[in-house]
Amino acid sequence: VGGGKDLVDSNQNTYGGKYVINPSGGLLSKGHPLGATGLAQCAELNWQLRGMAGPRQVPGAKYVLQHNIGLGGAVVVAIYTLGFPNPSQIVSKL
């Protein structure tokens, strides 16, 4: 309990650390699109899992966590993992 400061001070919450938080820059970098913030988060997390996030890519991302609060009344927390071993092969067959 209370270890957040130590996590930040040790740089374990950014690239090169154990946990990368907000690699896309978060909602401020997107202009906080009203009603679409959850979808924007979902897209970024899927790109991370598929290795498609370009310069924001977190190497070896296997699990990602999303949390969203809508107008203070609706709260969503989701953990994602890749469902297919090689998504590029699936896309090429479509």
Q: Cα–Cα distance between 68 and 41 in angstroms, integer? A: 9
What DSSP state is assigned to residue 85?
Answer: S
Tokens representing 39 are 């979808």
What is the phi/psi pair of residue 36, to 5°?
-115, 10
Tokens representing 22 are 């907000």
pTM of the model: 0.71
If one counts every other C-beta atom within 10 angstroms of the C-beta of residue 70, the result is 11
Q: What is the pLDDT of residues 15-71, one digit of tens each?
A: 888 888 888 877 777 776 666 778 888 899 999 999 999 999 999 999 999 988 877
